[in-house]
Amino acid sequence: MIRLSNRFAGALALVALFLPVIHAAAQQDVPAAPVAQTPSAPAPAAAAPVFPKPDPANFTAAAPSKDTVNAFLQASWGYDETRVWEIWAIQKTEVEGISKVILLVGDKTGKHQMMPASFYVLPDEKHIFAGDDIMPFGANPFADARAQLQQRADGPYRGAASKDLEIVEFADLQCPHCKDAQANMDKLAVDFPKARIVFQNFPLPQHAAAPLATAYGYCVTRQGGSNAFFIFASAVFDGQEGLSSADGTTLTLNSAVTKAGQDPTAIAACAKTPAAIAAVQAAVKLGQDLKITQTPTLMINGRPVLATASYDTLKQIILYQAKLDGVVAQ
């Protein structure tokens, strides 16, 4: 039987759940050019992991069932066809109604070492505790977030009016990573014309100019529609360095408003109105309710993904989520 300390298993849980996205978002050094070597015998092909057979004695909890856990993992990980896992244990804990799930995770190529992971299923059987986070659980773990977004994500959008496939980008106009992610967003708009791609402002507290930029964006959209907003946002990202000072913020935002075909004086006045202030507060509240902790984050029919992941990974996840939800992606 594999024995894992709670601290070790919990620390690995989120890494295992979101490993491909985390790797895709991380900066990597360029490797050195390979040194010419004398030809030698080829290395043996990597093999898929062979999981040890689970002990039935490790399944002491009445819920969740193995089928439910598998359905959850398939929804979460199924976009990656190389990933494989074994449910090693579903155990009772000292707290009534809380069960501990222990997994072994590997990949079919055998390139990565098999690793353990664990999480705790809460008594409502709709949430898990993994690492320091509470996350949705079940066969359709993203359904509640999807419903909230369909009702409350009211930012400017590109693409389809239908919300069958809705990709919501939570972004901050003063966030450098959000600026970098716009190349991915532009490609998605071309490759997924049937998707509704929403720019949902989520000003972060550490960015002093972000709330005002959000208010300006709300007013530009109100006056000129979504097309005007995306011109405005592109100009703000291009001049993002100007947002570091009060005077620079005024110049940057006014310039962006002009490029969007709007009157800077009128937009500045609109940004001070109760409606604009309430819109900024509502945007922040939506992100907080959905547990958004960093920008840029995409919600693909409710599934959270870092928008700075590789473009191929984003496409793979979008196609998979659309398949799960029974909607046309392209």
Q: Is residue 116 part of a domain?
A: yes
Contacts 24+ apart (CB under 8 A), 228-233: 228/260, 228/261, 228/262, 229/156, 229/199, 229/260, 230/156, 230/158, 230/199, 231/256, 231/259, 231/260, 231/261, 232/256, 232/257, 232/259, 232/260, 232/262, 233/173, 233/199
Residue 99 in this model has a pLDDT that exceeds 70 = yes
pLDDT one-digit tens code per residue, 75-85: 999 999 999 99
* Residue positions counted in the chain: 330
Residue 301 in this model has a pLDDT that exceeds 90 = yes
Which of 115, 139, 163 marks a domain boundary? Answer: 139
- For 218, list phi and psi in degrees, rounded to 5: -60, -45
Report the DSSP beta bridge partners of residue 133. 130
Same domain flag for 273 and 303: yes
Range from 13-17, 22-26, 41-45, 141-145 that averages highest in pLDDT: 141-145
pLDDT band at 50 (very low <50, low <70, confident <90, very high): confident
CA distance 239 to 103: 47
* Higher local confidence (pLDDT), 6 or 46: 46
Which of 109, 139, 169 marks a domain boundary? Answer: 139
Q: Under 8 Å CB-to-CB from 200, ≥6 apart: which residues? A: 153, 155, 168, 169, 170, 171, 283, 286, 287
> Looking at 12-16, 118-122, 194-198, 232-236, which range is the least confident one?
12-16
Which of 81, 113, 139 marks a domain boundary? Answer: 139
Same domain flag for 133 and 157: no
> Looking at 24-28, 96-100, 102-106, 125-129, which range is the least confident one?
24-28
Q: Is residue 32 part of a domain?
A: no
Same domain flag for 152 and 283: yes
- Mean pLDDT, rounded, of the chain: 87
CA distance 191 to 118: 36
User: Global pTM?
Assistant: 0.83
Q: What is the pLDDT of residue 117?
A: 92
Same domain flag for 230 and 288: yes
Residue 158 in this model has a pLDDT that exceeds 70 = yes
> Domain range for residue 206?
144-325
Taking phi over 0 as left and psi of -120 to 50 as alpha, with beta for the rest, 97 belongs to left
Q: How many domains does the chain have?
A: 2
Q: Is residue 73 part of a domain?
A: yes
Same domain flag for 82 and 118: yes
- The percentage of the chain sitting over the pLDDT mark of 90, rounded to a whole number, equals 77
Same domain flag for 98 and 195: no
The burial of 110, by beta-carbon neighbours within 10 Å (0-12 exposed, 13-18 middle, 19 or more buried), is given as middle
Calculate mean pLDDT across residues 137-151: 96
pLDDT band at 214 (very low <50, low <70, confident <90, very high): very high
- The percentage of the chain sitting over the pLDDT mark of 70, rounded to a whole number, equals 86
